Structure 1
Amino acid sequence: MRNKKKLLIEQLDQKLANFKDAGMVLIPQKGWVNTIRTTLNMTRDQLGTKLSLTKGAIQKIEEREATGQITINKLKDVGNALNMKFIYGFIPKDGTIESLVNLKAEKLAQKIVLRTNQNMKLEDQGIGDEKLNKTIKELADEIKREMKKSLWD
């Protein structure tokens, strides 16, 4: 039977695969609300009417979005008023969730094994590079399998 945590990671990676190119999208300087509204040649008054807000309230929404101080719910409301879907999420900077876990597990395993090996060297019991690398790989596999919380320290 497959590891449940591994299966969850694979499923999340499949869901996020559709958004890989989203990382290439740059947020417009004035924010999406302003950019879409002006591209559609819609006035603040017109958007305000759709949201039952004033022109000034729309200006505040645009300013807050541009400075990152807007709520997700407000962006959803604006999206609905513009007859658009609001999409929100996280995607890994490099690769997949699985590759992120692999990288973190390898770094943690390396840290643990090298620290232990250093202590063993002091007692004249250090191990060679080949054995060291094998031990790191085995520990990394165990860390990934167990998805230890220490992975994120």
Structure 2
Amino acid sequence: MPDFIQRRRLARILDRAAARLTDVEMPEKGWIATMRLALGMSAEQVALRKGVSRNAVYQAERSEKDGAVSLKQMENLAKAMGGRFVYAIVPDEPVEQLKYKQARRNAKRAAGEDPGFATLPKEDQQDWIDDMAAQQLHDMPSDFWAD
């Protein structure tokens, strides 16, 4: 498991990538067909460059739309059309926010399991949850992401 500084560096990489890819959506026809059509290439021409049949290109286009195309196929087809395939998993919101939300869920769950929690004044309950969430973020226990 990476240490705190490594986790922060990795989080910044993901957050920057997410910011750059915010508006990227798959075209209606899929990336393979869109690139091929934009270039004015036939499936036959792509197939010749890739060393496969025309039907294999059409099948890859259909598979992409179904979410069943392989990463290797995408990479090879992109290269055959003079492009490159980019693959990424990016967070829906900043990594630190995802971690904070999980820490708060964990703290609220722990509050429900602590018999003395309900007897605390309301403002102390909030402080208890905030402190527990901060402790969770600091310690990152092995069960941090357990639901």
Describe the superposition over 1:104-147 as per-residue Cα deviations: whole angstroms up to 9, x where unpaired.
Answer: 0011112211331xx337xxx71012211111111111111221
Residues 134 and 5 of structure 1: CA distance in aligned 2, closer, same or farther (over 3 Å): farther
Give the TM-score of the pair, scaled to structure 2: 0.88
Q: For 1:13-28, what aligned pairs fall within 5 Å after superposition? A: 13-16=11-14, 17-28=16-27
Unaligned runs of 5+ in 1: none
| 2:135 equivalent in structure 1 | 142
Within the alignment, does 1:78 sit opposite 2:67 as a pair? no
Unaligned runs of 5+ in 2: none
Give the TM-score of the pair, scaled to structure 1: 0.85
Query: Where in structure 1 do 4 or more consecutive aligned residues deviate above 4 Å?
Result: none
Q: For 1:54-93, what aligned pairs fall within 5 Å after superposition? A: 54-93=53-92
Q: 1:128 aligns with which of 94, 109, 121?
A: 121
SS at match of 2:68: coil
Distance (whole Å) between structure 1 residues aligned to residue 76 and residue 69 of structure 2? 12
Please identify, of 81-90 and 100-109, the stretch whose mean Cα deviation from structure 2 is larger: 81-90
SS at match of 2:34: helix
Residues 12, 97 of structure 1: 8 Å contact kept: no
Matched letter for residue 24 of structure 2: V
Describe the superposition over 1:74-98 as per-residue Cα deviations: whole angstroms up to 9, x where unpaired.
Answer: 111112222222111111112x111
| 1:34 equivalent in structure 2 | 33
Distance (whole Å) between structure 1 residues aligned to residue 77 and residue 22 of structure 2? 22
Residues 18, 91 of structure 2: 8 Å contact kept: no
Residues 44, 58 of structure 1: 8 Å contact kept: yes
TM-align CA RMSD: 1.8
Distance (whole Å) between structure 1 residues aligned to residue 108 and residue 52 of structure 2? 56
